[in-house]
Amino acid sequence: MSAQQIPTFEELREMFRLTDLKFQETDRTIQEVAELQKRTDKKISALGSRIGDIVENMVGGNIVDKFQTFGYEITQCHRCTTFKYKNLGISPDNSLDESVSKVLCITP
């Protein structure tokens, strides 16, 4: 078909069929990439969580000694403890003795 020649109905049908095939192939590729990205995101998330656990255990395992080195009178470390404000002071909500007068709370 030359630049001045008008395509026949059959030629147009074939061009549309080929275009449709290319779109279908592109759509399949996009779906495959999206699925790979989902799997990669899950793996990265799991790895990030694992690295966070490792670092937390490295630091948290020796946190009492580290604070004592700086002169703090820390004797215990509690994980996953909930605190609340009470009469402008901080008191433990659970896991600690109610007679505690001072609490050092470190949050991420």
Contact criterion met (CB below 8 Å) for 95 and 78: yes
C-alpha dist (Å) from residue 95 to 73, 76, 83: 19, 12, 10
Q: Could you report the per-residue pLDDT of 21-76, keeping only the tens digit for each?
A: 999 999 999 999 999 999 999 998 888 888 877 877 776 677 788 888 888 887 77
Residue 93: which domain range? Answer: 63-108
pLDDT, position 105: 62
In this predicted structure, the answer to whether residue 101 has a pLDDT above a threshold of 50 is yes
| Same domain assignment for residues 33 and 50 | yes
Identity of the residue numbered 24: Q
Same domain, 42 and 77: no
The reply to whether 16 and 68 lie within a common domain is no
Rounded CA separation 64/104 (Å): 11
Counting the structural domains of the chain, the total is 2
In terms of domains, do 19 and 69 share one? no
Together in a domain, 2 and 54: yes
- Does residue 76 sit in the same domain as residue 48? no
